[in-house]
């Protein structure tokens, strides 16, 4: 399985899902990352406000941050190579990045029950 790393913009906490009205897209994205982890994918998430050094150790990430003034965040890297930036990918896109059969990843039942393959949706 690949390693997926997420380089988030500065947020108050590690996921951005906090406070009285958390951002719905960040809530969905956090749930999608939890789903990836249940599928056996190694996921690592970095927050610019809390781990700025992580943004300088990957040359591709450092270049995007420098060239966009941070507007290119979030950055999604798969095995160290940038796969996406500027938007949070969907569960289906994350499944593609991870090499997981994404046929059930976008299905409504996959969102609520985990999908196929013993409830993981990772087949």
Residue 90: is it exposed, middle or buried by C-beta count within 10 angstroms (0-12/13-18/19+)? middle
Domain 3-113 listed as CATH 3.40.30.10: yes
Return the pLDDT at 116: 45
Mean pLDDT of 91-119: 66
Return the pLDDT at 112: 42
Report the percent of the chain where pLDDT is more than 70. Answer: 73
Residue 75: is it exposed, middle or buried by C-beta count within 10 angstroms (0-12/13-18/19+)? buried
Number of Cβ within 10 Å of residue 111's Cβ equals 17
Confidence of residue 11 (pLDDT cuts 50, 70, 90): confident
Q: What is the DSSP letter of 10?
A: P
DSSP string, 75-114: EEEETTEEEEESSPPPHHHHHHHHT---TTTTSHHHHHH-
Return the pLDDT at 1: 83
């Amino acid at each position: 399985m690949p390693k997926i790393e997420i380089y988030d913009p500065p947020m108050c906490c590690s996921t951005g899902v906090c406070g009285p009205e958390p951002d719905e897209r960040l809530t969905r994205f956090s749930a999608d990352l939890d789903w990836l982890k249940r599928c056996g994918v190694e996921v690592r998430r970095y927050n610019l406000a809390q781990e700025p050094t992580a943004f300088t150790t990957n040359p591709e990430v450092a270049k995007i941050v420098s060239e966009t003034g941070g507007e290119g965040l979030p950055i999604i890297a798969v095995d160290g190579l940038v796969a996406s930036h500027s938007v949070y990918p969907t569960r289906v896109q994350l499944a593609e990045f991870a090499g997981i059969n994404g046929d059930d990843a976008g299905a409504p039942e996959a969102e609520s029950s985990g999908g196929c393959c013993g409830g993981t949706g990772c087949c």
